[in-house]
């Protein structure tokens, strides 16, 4: 469903009540837990503010998330439609799986053979000391299904790292962003891909420009939509085979 | 949907707005909650925003809040020896201004005294200077009282960082039930705090109680803009920009949504003036700043 202002509540102490204006929020109802309905003006301000803050303070991951939510109004429906039109993607939209420590059987994944998706994913989490639970839930997406789509994109991000074989340092993140930008078309990924390299050394920039980015772009264009993969049912599948199936070229 | 119930404001909310004993229903911004819930929610709001409180104040008001606080201090015009109670004083803005003001008044006092000592011997001048030098505040004192531990913590850190130590004390306390004796203070201030008090009538009664006879009550608070054009611009800015600033700068949309809503819920100038009069204060008056965006209310205990 979509959020729309209700026209019933009176507001303001001085009896200005009854008439609803675009700015007043108290008539808007949250569509999912954590949802904050926002007007177009607020979204624009948020997009601008979060972009500036994300560049100013790279540790503000919440700002990157907010930027993605406020600018994704074209890309997210596209992604959702891609998912709907694919049998596996459609199932994901129906079943709404979540990748969280509470839903993952870490012991089982660790026991899987080397080279399998599950084993390599756990290895990635351990090596980089990250956890799937640090992904921010969406707040500013005004459609409950699209909110799930962006949530899924965030939770699948670590799996992208695994599939592309990229670590979580700045260089690795930029490469993954390039891949995601091609795949999803999310403006936040495009901005991250474009501005991320700003903080890299020239040596790394060279490697980035000559080898990694071209490979990421080629893979991104060649691969089918990564959100259409039900990863939770493919832990045993070898990473190589999954790469081939998707169309991701082997990492340089 | 439960949200609709939370967002509606029944008739009880009108009485609740006045902060009178109106049964369990109260307002928290535009939501309806019980008294206890309101206290808890407000505590959490300030716990969350404490570290970014000053930064947010500067961003939201474009630094103008400093001018408002300076005006309050000039209106108070304290002389050395004044005992000030700053309630909901959290991060210490009023307290520090008070100390600065009193210090500079004291400086001028000492300079004038020295001028009159032209006919004394050097030894006598030196002695009197020695005596006064250690009394740069002239026995003035400010007690900062706040209900929120986090805000006090930030205030203490600021004091240390800025070098304020003399004449300053920090007390954890509730404006509705102050931990002080009767007739103690010369001036009572509450700057941008009374809006968050759950029972405003009790806070006003407590203010009356702890002030000495002749003592002054001063309240600096967001109030109501009567000019319709300005009011619309102010609303637009408040509801569109401020929560965004809260999200971008402090990572906390909801606390700042509460803030702008609570301003709308607060009694306007005349109503607050009546409430202050009801608590026993005389010569109650108010001064609008910036067309009523902010107002300073003043009253005396006689």
For range A49-64, the mean pLDDT: 86
- Tell me the chain B residues in contact with residue A52 when contact means C-beta distances shorter than 8 Å: 248
A15 touches chain B (CB under 8 A): no
For range A55-67, the mean pLDDT: 85
Q: Which residue has the higher pLDDT, A220 or B1?
A: A220
Q: Say yes or no for a CB contact (<8 Å) between B224 and A9.
A: no
- Residue A34 domain-assigned (yes or no): no
- Tell me the chain A residues in contact with residue B7 when contact means C-beta distances shorter than 8 Å: 9, 26-27
Tell me the two tokens of residue B111: 């300079």
Per DSSP, B215 falls in state E
B268 touches chain A (CB under 8 A): yes
Cα nearest neighbour of B225 on chain A: A14
- Tell me the chain A residues in contact with residue B222 when contact means C-beta distances shorter than 8 Å: none
- Residue A63 domain-assigned (yes or no): yes
H or E element at residue B61:
helix B53-61
Question: Domain limits at A92?
Answer: 40-246
Q: Which residue has the higher pLDDT, B288 or A235?
A: B288
CB atoms within 10 A of CB A13: 16
CB of B170 within 8 A of CB of B152? Answer: yes
Give pLDDT tens digits for B64-79. Answer: 999 999 999 999 999 9
Would the pLDDT of B55 be above 60? yes
For range B3-26, the mean pLDDT: 44
B11 touches chain A (CB under 8 A): no
- Residue A224 domain-assigned (yes or no): yes
Whole-number pLDDT of residue B285: 96
Whole-number pLDDT of residue B132: 61
- Tell me the chain B residues in contact with residue A60 when contact means C-beta distances shorter than 8 Å: 251
DSSP string, chain A: -B----S----STTS--S---TT--TT---SSTT-----HHHHHHHHHHHHHHHHH-TT-HHHHHHHHHHHTTTHHHHHHHHHHTSHHHHHHHHH-----TTTS-HHHHHHSPTTBHHHHHHHHHHHHT--GGGPPPP-S-SBHHHHHHHHHHHHHHHHHHHHHT--SSHHHHHHHHHHHHHHH--HHHHHHHHHGGGGS-HHHHHHIIIIIHHHHHHHHHHSPPGGG--GGG-TTSBHHHHHHHHTPPPP-
Tell me the two tokens of residue A230: 């039900």
Cα nearest neighbour of A60 on chain B: B251
Would the pLDDT of B9 be above 90? no
For range A6-15, the mean pLDDT: 36
Tell me the two tokens of residue A159: 């799996």
Would the pLDDT of A41 be above 90? yes
Whole-number pLDDT of residue B97: 95
Whole-number pLDDT of residue A17: 31
Give me the count of residues in chain A.
Answer: 252
Give me the count of residues in chain B.
Answer: 302
Touching B: A residues 109-148, CB under 8 Å: 139
For range B211-235, the mean pLDDT: 95
Residue B89 phi, psi (nearest 5): -80, -5
Q: Which residue has the higher pLDDT, A35 or B31?
A: A35
Would the pLDDT of A11 be above 80? no
- Tell me the chain A residues in contact with residue B271 when contact means C-beta distances shorter than 8 Å: none
Q: From edge to edge, which strands make up the β-sheet containing B185-191?
A: B168-172, B141-146, B83-87, B185-191, B211-222, B294-300, B282-289
Band (pLDDT 50/70/90 cuts) for residue A127 is: confident
Q: Distance (Å, rounded) from C-alpha A250 to C-alpha B5?
A: 56
Q: Distance (Å, rounded) from C-alpha B151 to C-alpha B56?
A: 14
Q: Say yes or no for a CB contact (<8 Å) between B3 and A29.
A: yes
Q: Distance (Å, rounded) from C-alpha B25 to C-alpha B23?
A: 6
Q: Say yes or no for a CB contact (<8 Å) between A14 and B9.
A: no
B229 touches chain A (CB under 8 A): no
Strands B294-300 and B282-289, bridge-based pairing? antiparallel
- Tell me the chain A residues in contact with residue B245 when contact means C-beta distances shorter than 8 Å: 49
Q: Which residue has the higher pLDDT, B171 or B3?
A: B171
Q: Say yes or no for a CB contact (<8 Å) between A45 and B241.
A: yes
- Residue A223 domain-assigned (yes or no): yes
Would the pLDDT of A13 be above 80? no
B59 touches chain A (CB under 8 A): no
For testing contact with chain B, the best of A9, A20, A26, A54 (most B CBs within 10 A): A26
Would the pLDDT of A198 be above 60? yes
Report pTM.
0.78
Q: Which residue has the higher pLDDT, B296 or B31?
A: B296
Q: How many domains does chain A have?
A: 1
Cα nearest neighbour of B235 on chain A: A23
Cα nearest neighbour of B267 on chain A: A13
CB of A225 within 8 A of CB of A86? Answer: yes
Whole-number pLDDT of residue B162: 94
Give pLDDT tens digits for A132-155. Answer: 877 788 999 999 999 999 999 988
Strands B83-87 and B141-146, bridge-based pairing? parallel
**Residue recorded with tokens 């904050």:** A36
Would the pLDDT of B20 be above 50? no
Which residues on adjacent β-strands are paired with residue B174? B177
Q: At what angle do helices A117-128 and A239-246 cross, to 10 degrees?
A: 100
Burial letters for B230-248: b for 16+ Cβ neighbours within 10 Å, e otherwise?
A: ebeebbeebbbbbbbbbbb
Q: Say yes or no for a CB contact (<8 Å) between A23 and B239.
A: yes
Residue B219 phi, psi (nearest 5): -130, 125
From B126-135, B223-232, B267-276, the region with the lowest mean pLDDT = B126-135
What Cα–Cα distance (Å) separates residue B56 from each residue in B61, B63, B240, B252, B280? 8, 10, 15, 11, 35
Band (pLDDT 50/70/90 cuts) for residue A22 is: very low
- Closest CA relative to residue A155, chosen from A108, A96, A114, A195: A96
- Residue A227 domain-assigned (yes or no): yes
Q: Say yes or no for a CB contact (<8 Å) between B224 and A13.
A: yes
Q: Which residue has the higher pLDDT, B15 or B270?
A: B270
CB of B192 within 8 A of CB of B222? Answer: yes
Would the pLDDT of B17 be above 70? no
CB of B198 within 8 A of CB of B26? Answer: yes
- B63-223+266-301 sits in which CATH class? alpha beta
- Residue A201 domain-assigned (yes or no): yes
Cα nearest neighbour of B234 on chain A: A23
Q: Distance (Å, rounded) from C-alpha B80 to C-alpha B109?
A: 9
Whole-number pLDDT of residue A162: 86
- Tell me the chain B residues in contact with residue A69 when contact means C-beta distances shorter than 8 Å: none
Touching A: B residues 26-45, CB under 8 Å: 30
Would the pLDDT of A15 be above 70? no
For range B213-232, the mean pLDDT: 95
Q: Which residue has the higher pLDDT, B16 or A31?
A: A31
From A190-194, A227-231, B14-18, the region with the lowest mean pLDDT = B14-18
Q: Say yes or no for a CB contact (<8 Å) between B9 and A9.
A: yes
Q: Where are the beta strands (DSSP E) in B152-272?
A: 168-172, 185-191, 211-222
Would the pLDDT of B11 be above 60? no
**Residue recorded with tokens 């240390």:** B160
Q: Say yes or no for a CB contact (<8 Å) between A25 and B239.
A: yes
A60 touches chain B (CB under 8 A): yes
CB of B285 within 8 A of CB of B297? Answer: yes
């Amino acid at each position: 469903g979509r959020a729309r202002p209700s026209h019933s509540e009176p507001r303001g102490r001085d009896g200005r009540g009854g008439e609803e204006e675009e700015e007043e929020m108290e008539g808007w109802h949250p569509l999912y837990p954590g949802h904050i309905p926002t007007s177009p003006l607020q979204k624009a301000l948020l997009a601008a503010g979060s972009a500036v803050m994300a560049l100013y303070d790279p540790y503000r991951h919440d700002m990157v998330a907010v930027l993605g939510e406020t600018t994704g109004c074209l890309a997210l429906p596209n992604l959702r439609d891609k998912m709907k039109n694919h049998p596996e993607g459609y199932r994901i939209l129906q079943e709404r799986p979540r990748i969280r420590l509470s839903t993952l059987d870490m012991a089982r994944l660790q026991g899987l053979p080397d080279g399998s998706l599950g084993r390599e994913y756990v290895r990635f989490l351990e090596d980089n000391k990250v956890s799937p639970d640090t992904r921010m839930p969406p707040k500013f997406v005004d459609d409950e299904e699209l909110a799930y789509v962006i949530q899924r994109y965030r939770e699948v991000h670590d799996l992208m790292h695994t599939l592309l074989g990229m670590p979580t340092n700045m260089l690795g993140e930029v490469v993954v962003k390039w891949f995601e930008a091609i795949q999803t078309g999310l403006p936040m990924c495009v901005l991250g891909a474009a501005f991320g390299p700003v903080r890299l050394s020239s040596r790394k920039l060279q490697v980035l420009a000559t080898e990694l980015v071209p490979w990421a772009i080629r893979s991104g264009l060649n691969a089918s939509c990564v959100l259409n993969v039900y990863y939770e049912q493919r832990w045993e599948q070898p990473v190589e085979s999954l790469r081939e199936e998707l169309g991701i070229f082997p990492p340089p | 949907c439960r949200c609709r119930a939370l967002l509606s404001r029944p008739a009880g909310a009108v009485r609740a707005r006045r902060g009178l004993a109106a049964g369990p229903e109260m307002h928290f911004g535009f939501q309806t909650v019980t008294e206890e819930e309101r206290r808890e929610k407000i505590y959490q709001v300030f716990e969350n925003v404490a570290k970014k409180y000053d930064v947010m104040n500067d961003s939201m008001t474009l630094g103008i809040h400093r001018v408002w606080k300076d005006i309050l201090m000039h209106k108070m015009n304290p002389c050395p020896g004044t005992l000030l109670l700053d309630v909901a004083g959290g991060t210490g803005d009023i307290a520090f201004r008070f100390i600065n003001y009193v210090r500079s008044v004291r400086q001028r006092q000492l300079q004038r005294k020295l001028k009159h000592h032209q006919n004394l011997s050097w030894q006598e001048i030196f002695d009197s200077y020695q005596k006064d030098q250690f009394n740069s505040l002239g026995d003035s004192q400010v007690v900062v009282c706040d209900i929120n531990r986090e805000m006090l913590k930030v205030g203490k850190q600021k004091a240390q960082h800025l070098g304020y130590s003399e004449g300053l004390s920090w007390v954890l306390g509730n404006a509705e039930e102050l931990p002080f004796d009767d007739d103690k203070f010369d001036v009572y201030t509450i700057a941008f705090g009374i809006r968050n008090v759950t029972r405003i009538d009790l806070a006003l009664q407590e203010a009356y109680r702890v002030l000495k006879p002749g003592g002054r009550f001063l309240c600096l608070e967001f109030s109501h803009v009567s000019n319709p054009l300005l009011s619309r611009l102010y609303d637009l800015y408040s509801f569109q920009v401020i929560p965004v600033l809260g999200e971008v700068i402090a990572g906390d949309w909801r606390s700042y949504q509460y803030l702008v809503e609570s301003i709308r819920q607060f009694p306007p100038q005349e109503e607050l003036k009546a409430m202050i009069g009801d608590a026993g204060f005389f010569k109650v008056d108010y001064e609008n700043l910036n067309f009523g965006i902010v107002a300073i209310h003043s009253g005396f205990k006689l």
